[in-house]
Structure 1
Amino acid sequence: MTDARRPEGLLLDAMGTLIGLRRSVGSTYAAFAAEHGVNVEAEAINAVFPQLFRAAPPLAFPGLEGKALLEAEQAWWVALIDGCLKACGHDDPLPEGLGPALFRHYATAEPWQVYGDVAEHLQQWRSAGLKLAVVSNFDQRLHGLLEQLELAPLIDTVVVSSAVGAAKPDPRPFERALELLELPAAAAWHIGDSPEDEAGARAAGLHCVLIQRKQPAGTPGGTRS
């Protein structure tokens, strides 16, 4: 039996573990809303976003791929943006273009940062021969983000909930990552930042290590990271 203290591979959460936002969701949403003629306070969005984010259906779309999957991903986020503005008192229809503009913005490196210890750890793990996978409750934009943030060359594979059709704490994203790494669960650990990380990893038979990062106001504590 593989010694759990010496894993052959690591499954890594993304948001709140490897990367995080440079500024609060509220400040970005409020700035983009103002450009579309909507006045809303950043603090108000920060107050409602975490709860709405946690209450939203899983960011997972079984059976979809290609253009249909991309459309479903964007629609999920646009609905969340609309819900945030409505919860802040904006009862009019969401201005055309606001949701897609925010969706495109978060597909770029500009709003994101790589935590200071990440690149060094990834390089050390790769040098030690560990296989590395990112397992995230996010969408296909993560592939491009990891490229832009120069982390992709240090990762063997990336599994996102939207494409695999299940989200943490469901064990299927972890199981898919293990398949791609060609490792049994006993040979890998998961590193994340949320209860969903721990519950999903344990359901997949993985040892789990939780970490904590300082994140901007309004960040939902990695619950869908």
Structure 2
Amino acid sequence: MVLMATRTRFSQLFQATLNQKSLKTLGRSRHESISQRHFSSVSAAATDAEAVVGSRGVGLEIFGLKDYIDYRRALYGEITHKALLVDAVGTLLVPSQPMAQIYREIGEKYGVEYSEVEILTRFRRAYEQPWGRSLFYWACKRTINTLFRYVNDGRPFWQFIVSSSTGCSDSQYFEELYNYYTTEKAWHLCDPEAEKVFKALRKSGVKLAVVSNFDTRLRPVLRALNCDHWFDAVAVSAEVEAEKPNPTIFIKACELLGVKPEDAVHVGDDRRNDVWGARDAGCDAWLWGSDVHSFKEVAQRIGVQV
């Protein structure tokens, strides 16, 4: 009851800092859209309140707190989060070689003539195109397979991407390329200290999950890299039938771990998919490469020394 009252009081204080008078003084600054935001959790409110008032020299210190982590510890104790959610590609692991290089090298024997620059340009153009049929069609047919990129093994989507990127529709080329990205050779871990850090987190009672927009190859990839056992759960969009930034996939990850969203923090390299998506689900979120730069730093912010 005391903890609940404390949370409620902090939430009220932070919401008070975002009254209409304060927002009006911000004018046309990058924070003006905050006035329309519905805070889904105390942690989201605290983060945005700090961003708005902190930039004007008024922040968490007005509540006797030196920073946001101090705020979390005031609510939860020394360990600030019960669970850590981790993005896969770009955070936990990255391709060992540039994508365009692999597409070209494997494709040479199948007649691919585009340069790596051309392949990369065409890849980006294809990847950014809306995938599946229209929302109207989906609404009428009620079939999820027409909407998501990563459904089951993701083959239809990746066949489209490969042929669009290289101009080659040879099925043998696609199969060789597709299978390559299931092997250990195709990937390496972003942080060489990841295993040590994750062991320390789990020893301290922090649960771990991977949350990724990926097809069903993700689990074999994690096994190939011998890191699947580091995690208590894996929430992959192809299985959850929801892609980041949809909050559903983050909520599902929390359910798999047995924690509430407000007790979890997600770390990922994409501001829209990872940070905004996680916060919309009620989780805390840190941007990889900006808020945090290593898993050791993540652990320290949570309150676990490695």
Q: State TM-score, norm by structure 2.
A: 0.61
* SS of the residue 1:77 aligns to: helix
Name the counterpart of 1:165.
241
Among 263, 278, 281, the alignment partner of 1:204 is: 281
Among 96, 103, 110, the alignment partner of 2:178 is: 103
* SS of the residue 2:205 aligns to: coil
Please, what is the CA RMSD of the aligned residues? 2.3
* Higher RCO structure (Cα 8 Å, ≥6 apart): 1
- Segments of 5+ residues of structure 1 without an aligned counterpart are 215-225
Among 125, 134, 155, the alignment partner of 1:74 is: 155
Matched to 1:177, the amino acid is A
Alpha-carbon distance between aligned partners in 2 of 1:49 and 1:190, rounded to the nearest angstrom: 28
Change (3 A) 1:211 1:122: same
Matched to 1:129, the amino acid is G
The 5 A counterparts of 1:15-164 are 15-57=89-131, 62=144, 69-70=151-152, 73-85=154-166, 90=167, 94-115=169-190, 116-164=192-240
Matched to 1:179, the amino acid is E
Q: State TM-score, norm by structure 1.
A: 0.82
Aligned partners of 2:214 and 2:238 also within 8 Å: yes
Change (3 A) 1:179 1:45: same
User: Displacement of 1:176 after TM fit?
Assistant: 0.7
Change (3 A) 1:94 1:180: same
Alpha-carbon distance between aligned partners in 2 of 1:11 and 1:124, rounded to the nearest angstrom: 15
Alpha-carbon distance between aligned partners in 2 of 1:122 and 1:140, rounded to the nearest angstrom: 23
- Segments of 5+ residues of structure 2 without an aligned counterpart are 5-74, 133-142, 294-306
Alpha-carbon distance between aligned partners in 2 of 1:19 and 1:191, rounded to the nearest angstrom: 13
Matched to 2:197, the amino acid is H
* SS of the residue 2:185 aligns to: coil
Aligned partners of 2:122 and 2:164 also within 8 Å: no
User: Displacement of 1:11 after TM fit?
Assistant: 0.8
Change (3 A) 1:153 1:36: same
Name the counterpart of 2:40.
none
Alpha-carbon distance between aligned partners in 2 of 1:107 and 1:144, rounded to the nearest angstrom: 7
Name the counterpart of 2:68.
none
Matched to 2:231, the amino acid is I
The percentage of aligned residue pairs carrying the same residue is: 29
Alpha-carbon distance between aligned partners in 1 of 2:144 and 2:257, rounded to the nearest angstrom: 22
**Which deviations, in whole Å up to 9, do the C-alpha atoms of 1:170-204 show, x marking residues without a partner?**
01110111111111011111011102101110110
Among 226, 251, 259, the alignment partner of 1:175 is: 251
Range with greater deviation from structure 2 (35-44 or 193-202): 35-44
The structure with the larger Rg is 2
